[in-house]
């Protein structure tokens, strides 16, 4: 069940909200735990057991890590064991197929195919539970004694499937004593509608444009392929940021406040800035739980370079069991190293427009690496972006681009903070609620109409 489905919007969510708000406060976590499991089990009932296992495992380890915190050796053994089990489960379900395929390259091996279904959201809730046990070990948060509250945190359906990665310490107080109110609920509705609009009106449209142009890469002309990958760049941004907005909005409706996961990344003037704005919860997770523990930049330049490459290789691997993701991560890792040690002073002297262009071109090439898991297709598409043998833009590609041009322009504008700045200027006027309510209602109608009339409604980050 996805947030942008009619059954979620008009059946599941209203029913859950009704039950939640008539439930006494002391039972709301238990009620949420049940509906979280129902939500997850809607599509993958068998993997509910895996999530329950992860919940119980990390609850028990968190309890004993805190109990033996004064005994550093015992606490560290418990922490390392918990991390190994968590990563082992993740690796088994997500990377076993990749590992067997890699080993089968050896001429003397013939391991049977070991590809198994990937439990939805496992990358997200595994990182959440690991951050909990690590924070308990560090003394950054007390262990949760109530397993229902901890289970609610792990399985919280607004951010369960595709993030943001919510750290326990950021919502610990909210789990035990949140205070829902109409202002927060209204904010949640607005944030959900913004995310729904991003997903249904922009991400789906850009995805359709990309899927139309991509099969004819050899005939589109160079410009047609550039437009195609730009459309994909918009698709993945509005798809993921739209989901994050909906997740944050749903959290508000139930009294939670999740940290912002995207901050207009396509306005960045460097790749360093881009990664401060894109998937913030993942970037900061790797910084706090991998980069800094490895030594960060405290042990010299060479060690810092190695640490950055390790982090970005793992960041790529987190996204999927394919070598193109590792290549994608290392691609950005190398650029970040160049900006840190070589290009920093040079970039600072460039005009802002040039810095924007530099950043967006590198980001677009990154999405090419991200999309194509077949190295032959990857090379063919990169070549097609500079192949003018079929002209700049074929007739068929031009017709397609013109058909989607208004939506391309809308996507470009929506990827900037222009609308947000306009809203900030008028939101304090007494009459602002009138257009705000009208836009929200109209947005719901348009999104509903789009969902009814169009079956194209994927969520890209579900596969991560």
Residue with tokens 């509910």: 48
Answer yes or no: is pLDDT of 61 > 80: yes
Task: Let me know: does 279 contact 261? Beta carbons within 8 Å.
Answer: yes
What 322-327 contacts at long range (C-beta under 8 Å, 24+ apart), as own/partner pairs, is: 322/98, 322/373, 323/373, 323/375, 324/369, 324/370, 324/371, 324/372, 324/373, 324/375, 324/378, 325/370, 325/373, 327/369
Cis peptide bond N-terminal to 164, omega within 30: yes
**Spatial separation of the C-alpha atoms in residues 289 and 274, rounded to whole Å:** 20
More confident residue, 42 or 339: 339
Lowest-pLDDT range, 57-66, 110-119, 418-427?
110-119
**Spatial separation of the C-alpha atoms in residues 199 and 205, rounded to whole Å:** 9
Going by C-alpha positions, the residue among 351, 387, 62 that lies closest to residue 216 is: 387
Task: Let me know: does 267 contact 416? Beta carbons within 8 Å.
Answer: yes
pTM exceeds 0.75 for this model? yes
Determine the distance from the C-alpha atom of residue 329 to the mean position of all C-alpha atoms in its chain, rounded to a whole number. 15
**Spatial separation of the C-alpha atoms in residues 161 and 164, rounded to whole Å:** 9
Answer yes or no: is pLDDT of 427 > 80: no
pLDDT for the residue numbered 457: 65
Q: What is the dihedral of CA 100, 102, 106, 109, to 10 degrees?
A: 0
Select which of 25, 179, 279, 319 is catalytic.
319
Looking from the CA of 21 toward its CB, the CA atoms found within 13 Å total 12
Mapped onto helix, strand or coil, the DSSP state of residue 44 is coil
Mean pLDDT of 378-407: 91
pLDDT for the residue numbered 453: 81
Rounded to the nearest integer, the mean pLDDT of the chain is 91
**Spatial separation of the C-alpha atoms in residues 464 and 374, rounded to whole Å:** 18
Going by C-alpha positions, the residue among 61, 75, 68 that lies closest to residue 150 is: 61
At residue 464 the predicted structure's pLDDT band, cuts being 50, 70 and 90, is low
**Spatial separation of the C-alpha atoms in residues 226 and 214, rounded to whole Å:** 10
User: Which two three-digit tokens encode residue 136?
Assistant: 């308990």
Crossing angle of helices 352-371 and 375-384, in 10° steps, is 140
pLDDT above 70 coverage of the chain, percent: 98
Query: Does the annotation mark 319 as catalytic?
Result: yes
Answer yes or no: is pLDDT of 34 > 90: yes
**Spatial separation of the C-alpha atoms in residues 29 and 441, rounded to whole Å:** 31
Q: What are the tens digits of pLDDT across the range 439-459? A: 888 888 998 898 888 766 666
Domain borders along the chain are: 6-178, 184-463
Q: What are the tens digits of pLDDT across the range 132-161? A: 999 999 999 999 999 999 999 999 999 888
């Amino acid at each position: 069940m996805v947030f942008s489905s009619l059954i979620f919007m008009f059946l599941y969510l209203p029913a859950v909200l009704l039950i939640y708000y008539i439930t006494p406060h002391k039972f709301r976590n238990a009620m949420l735990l049940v509906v979280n499991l129902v939500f997850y089990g809607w599509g993958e009932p068998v993997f509910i057991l895996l999530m329950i296992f992860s919940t119980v495992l990390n609850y028990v380890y968190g309890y004993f890590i805190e109990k033996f915190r004064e005994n550093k050796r015992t606490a560290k053994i418990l922490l390392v064991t918990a991390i190994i089990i968590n990563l082992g489960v993740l690796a088994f379900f997500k990377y076993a197929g990749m590992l067997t395929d890699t080993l089968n390259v050896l001429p003397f091996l013939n391991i049977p195919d070991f590809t198994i279904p990937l439990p939805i959201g496992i990358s997200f809730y595994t990182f959440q539970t690991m951050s909990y046990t690590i924070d308990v070990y560090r003394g950054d948060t007390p262990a949760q004694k109530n397993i229902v509250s901890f289970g609610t945190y792990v399985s919280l359906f607004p951010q369960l499937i595709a993030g943001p990665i919510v750290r326990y310490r950021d919502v610990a107080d909210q789990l035990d004593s949140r205070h829902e109110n109409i202002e927060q609920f209204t904010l949640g509705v607005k944030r959900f509608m913004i995310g729904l609009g991003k997903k249904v009106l922009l991400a789906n449209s850009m995805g359709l444009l990309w899927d139309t142009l991509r099969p004819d890469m050899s005939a589109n002309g160079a410009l047609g392929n550039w437009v195609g990958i730009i459309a994909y760049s918009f698709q993945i941004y509005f798809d993921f940021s739209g989901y994050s907005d909906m997740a944050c909005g749903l959290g508000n409706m139930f009294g939670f406040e999740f940290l912002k996961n995207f901050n207009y990344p396509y306005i960045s003037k460097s790749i360093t800035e881009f990664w401060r704005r894109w998937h913030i919860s993942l970037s900061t997770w790797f910084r706090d739980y991998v980069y800094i523990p490895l030594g960060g930049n405290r042990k010299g330049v060479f060690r810092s370079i190695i640490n950055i490459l390790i982090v970005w290789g793992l960041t790529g691997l987190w996204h999927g069991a394919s070598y193109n993701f590792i290549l994608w991560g290392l691609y950005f890792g190398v650029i970040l190293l160049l900006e840190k040690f070589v290009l920093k002073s040079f970039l600072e002297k460039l005009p802002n427009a040039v810095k924007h262009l530099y950043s967006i071109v590198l980001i677009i090439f990154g999405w090419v690496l991200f999309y194509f898991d077949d190295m032959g297709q990857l090379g063919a598409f990169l070549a097609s972006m500079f192949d003018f043998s079929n002209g700049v833009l074929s007739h068929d590609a031009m017709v397609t681009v013109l058909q989607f041009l208004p939506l391309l322009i809308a996507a470009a504008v929506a990827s900037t903070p222009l609308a947000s700045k306009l809203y900030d200027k008028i939101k304090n006027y007494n009459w602002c609620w009138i257009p705000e309510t009208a836009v929200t209602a109209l947005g719901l109608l348009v999104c509903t109409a789009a969902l009814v009339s169009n079956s194209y409604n994927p969520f890209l980050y579900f596969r991560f």
